[in-house]
Structure 1
Amino acid sequence: MIQTVRGKIKKEDLGICAAHEHLSIDLSRIKNDPDTILDDEAGMLSELEHFYKAGGRSMIELTNDGMGRDVQRLKRLSEQTNVHIVTCTGFYKDPFIPEFAHGWDRDEFAKHFIDEIENGIGETGILPGIIGEVGTSLNEIKPIEKELIIGAGKASIATGVPVTTHTTLGTMGIEQVDMLFSLRVPKNQIIIGHQDLNTSKEEVLEVLKTGVFIGFDTIGKNNYRPDEERIDFLLDFVSRGFHKQILLSADLTRKSHWKKHGGPGYDIVLKEFIPALIERGVSDEVIQDLLVHNPAHAFSIKERL
């Protein structure tokens, strides 16, 4: 079962899924850049329609409290486009954690996330289906981030809801796994994000060998890393048998990322990246795993331990 903003669906009904996206977001409080504000609801609708036309049927929307989360807007968008949207509970990373949560320990984070999972977000009645994106800084885990990640893990164990992370430029992935494994969070409830940004293949392989899911989820962000390098890594991981652990997405967070403003849009994975994989010989079976089966397994709510 997967929890969407419109209610529960069977995992078989998720379809082609973008595993890490943002539709309605505002990072300007920290970034001081109007490009990081997505508040044009008509624009969101249009961008989602492009995604649907390309074959996309579901989206994991990871804008949490402190990043500009608006779950009622997500529900309206889902109702109008018929795209399944999963919203989240969680906090991002330092310095994006809301002021009211400054100084919280792991148990306070866990309690807050469990409350939203069980009782809904605010007075909306809308339930999150994922804990995330909870993150760490570049090449370090700050004390508040450690408490946040462990709190997310505790909430995941208590509820069976999976946890998805942010790694800054792909760093600290194995450290995140170790923290979550220390709590005995099952490997099939863990998604380590942004591993396509890590240029150390050995570090990414270390994460994959633990059995958790990873995100190749900044596709098209060639200013960080060329997609050709992402494809080279992905082909190697497929050849090693890790294709059932990899999730794809583009992680759009800026106006300039939208088609409306000349950007690639949410369909870039389906219209550009997947054809490139097929051209390089990736089988239909593996493509179905990457787009459909892996997200269905990763985002389904598991039995409570």
Structure 2
Amino acid sequence: MSVVQTVLGPVPSEDLGRIMHHEHLLSLVPGPWLSGGRPDARVTATGLKPDPNETRYADDQVRHAVTALSGLAALGIGTVVDLSPYGVAGRDPVGANVALLQRISRESGVHVVAGSSVYLEAYSPRWTVEADLRQMTERFVADAAQGIGTSGVRAGIFGEQATSLNRITAHEEKCLRAAARAQRETGLGLTTHTTHGTMALEQLEILRQEGADLDHVVIGHMDTRADLGYVRQVARTGVHIAFDTVGKQNWDFVLEPEPHDQPDGEIAKQAYHRSDITRATRLATLVAEGFEDQILLAQDLTGAEVWMNPTTHGQWGYSYLGASFSTLLLEHGITEKQIEKMLLTNPARLLQTTARP
């Protein structure tokens, strides 16, 4: 029987429903301010040991996620994949709060699959930078076999494994190779993060060198690449590609955390725009060219960016993909059957694995 490893245990793949393949469920609250202040500050003041599952901030994270997921059942979406790397998008640096995804799944009735990965070097926890290739591989394998970090929740996929804009640092290459080796050992799927669609072919070359199963690899964020010819070139390798920032029409161009010593005064800022009309047009082109069996869809929704997209994520939340954007795809000539492939058949195939004890 084909099964998928969710945060609550193995689930038959036919029970998944439609799948949002790239989301971040613990990042919907962009900070602890709704909880009455930072949990670590309260802990310091009281002398108590922090518990990521008991703070008011954690309760806010769960409550907001459950509410945000409440409209998905009506759209046939039954599964969300949380691809938050260590220390990024709501996940803590050691993976302890992945346990919150179990609460979210139970309370929402939505299947949740947890990924394991390391993000861009500038955002990577110190322990991942200090780990060598063998140690990082062992960590990923343990995340699949025993549980992510200290959470006890087993990974059902590796990703989003990241590389930088127009380059791959030595640390990022190490982690990508480790994810490939762990994929080879565990049989899980692997999905990547490309920064604005760059370095996709270089990612594939590294994965080939490591003997990764490219039939179970997704190259992420290809909808943010300005050059459709490049996207087509990646798709022609036979690998899966993700249009996984649907609804994120505007976002800040941020490659590293803001410096602690930022001087007062005016700062330069870059932002990026990619309209959903462009996404729909490109998807229609790729489907017409025969790539419909290789495409996955998601929103990559985070609370920190919703304010920049008030008519998409800001109005529809997680329902945007299955409601508004799917209608846009139909208007561009993509059929219901083809949408079903991109939202169900293709992502389910990437998540399937043989049941393990």
Specify if TM > 0.5: yes
Alignment of 1:70-149 (within 5 A): 70-149=97-176
Q: 1:225 aligns with which of 261, 274, 287?
A: 274
Do structure 1's residue 50 and structure 2's residue 77 form an aligned pair?
no
How has the CA–CA distance of structure 1 residues 58 and 272 changed in structure 2, closer, same or farther, with 3 Å as cutoff? Answer: same
**Change beyond 3 A, Cα 1:97–1:263:** farther
Shift, 1:256, TM fit: 5.1
CA distance in 1, matches of 2:229, 2:155: 34
* Mapping 1:23-62, distance limit 5 Å: 23-25=25-27, 39-62=60-83
Preserved contact between residue 191 and residue 214 of structure 1 (Cα < 8 Å): yes
List per-residue Cα deviations over 1:38-93 (Å, max 9, x = no partner): 95322211101022333321001011221132222111111111111000122112
Matching residue of 1:63:
84
**CA deviation digits over 1:153-178, x for unaligned, max 9?**
01000110111111101111111111
1:88-123 Cα offsets, whole Å, 9 max, x none, are 122112111111121333222111100111112345
Task: Give yes or no for contact 2:118–2:128 (8 Å, CA) kept in 1.
Answer: no
Report 1:201-220 matches (<5 A). 201-220=228-247
Matched, 1:290 2:342: yes
Q: How much does 1:255 deviate?
A: 4.7
The answer to whether the Cα contact below 8 Å between 2:292 and 2:338 also exists between their aligned partners in 1 is yes
Correspondence for 1:182 among 206, 209, 213:
209
> What stretches of structure 1 of length at least 5 have no aligned partner?
29-33
Tell me: CA distance 1:154–1:121, structure 2 relative to 1, closer, same or farther (3 Å): same
Deviations 1:13-62 (A, max 9, x none): 1111101000103888xxxxx9xx99532221110102233332100101
* C-alpha distance in 2 between matches for 1:178 and 1:226: 30
**Alpha-carbon contact 2:198-2:225 (below 8 Å) kept:** yes
What is the CA–CA distance in structure 2 between the aligned matches of 1:138 and 1:263, rounded to whole Å? 30
* TM-score, normalising length: structure 2: 0.78
| Higher Cα Rg, which structure | 2
The one-letter amino acid paired with 2:323 is: K
Aligned-residue offset at 1:262 = 3.8
Extract unaligned runs of 5+ from structure 2: 32-36, 38-56, 92-96, 251-272
Cα gap change, 1:151/1:269 in structure 2, threshold over 3 Å: closer, same or farther? Answer: same
Q: Is the 8 A contact 1:87 1:129 kept in 2?
A: yes
The residue type equivalent to 1:273 in the other structure is F
Secondary structure at the residue paired with 1:134?
strand
Query: How big is the shift at 1:203?
Result: 1.2
Deviations 1:209-263 (A, max 9, x none): 111111100001112300111111111110111011100000012255289x945
Percent of aligned pairs with the same amino acid:
35
2:195 is matched with which residue?
168
Query: 1: distance between equivalents of 2:132 and 2:156?
Result: 23
Q: Give the TM-score taking structure 1 as reference length.
A: 0.91
| CA distance in 1 between partners of 2:288 and 2:100 (Å) | 41
Q: C-alpha root-mean-square deviation of aligned residues, in Å?
A: 2.3
Farther off after superposition, 83-92 or 116-125: 116-125
Instruction: Judge which range, 214-223 or 45-54, deviates more.
Output: 45-54
8 Å Cα contact 2:156/2:351 also seen in 1: yes
Work out the CA distance in 1 between the residues paired with 2:323 and 2:124. Answer: 35
How many residues align? The count is 296
Contact 1:220 1:264 in 2 (8 A): no
CA 1:205–1:84: 2 relative to 1, 3 Å: same
C-alpha distance in 1 between matches for 2:170 and 2:10: 35
